[in-house]
Amino acid sequence: MNDSAVKVESKEKVPEFKKNFQVFRFIGGKLDSFFGDQIYLIVLPLIVLAITGSPLSMGIVAALERLPIHIQPFTGVLADNFIRKRILLLCDAKS
């Protein structure tokens, strides 16, 4: 093999990680969103408990909050079996 290698140089230099402020803003936004979601998952059942005083109602709300996480694998398999364009049109019509 030849020692000469073909080097491909991009026109735009990628800034090093410490100077890439767009990445820090993106990561910070995702981190804030994640913490907000986790606080919401904890606080909503506690609010239901405070309002109703019923641990059963609190448990139902907590279970319903996590329901989409549990059905994702099944809905993914179902979505693979249907035409994607129709799924997108149906979801857009519902919103």
R_g of the chain computed on alpha carbons: 24
Rounded to the nearest 5°, which phi and psi values hold at 17?
A: -60, -40
Quote the pLDDT of residue 91. Answer: 85
Q: Closest by alpha carbon to 62, among 76, 45, 48?
A: 45
Q: What is the pTM of this model?
A: 0.59
Instruction: Kindly report, residue by residue over 9-35, the tens digit of the pLDDT.
Output: 556 676 676 777 888 899 999 999 999
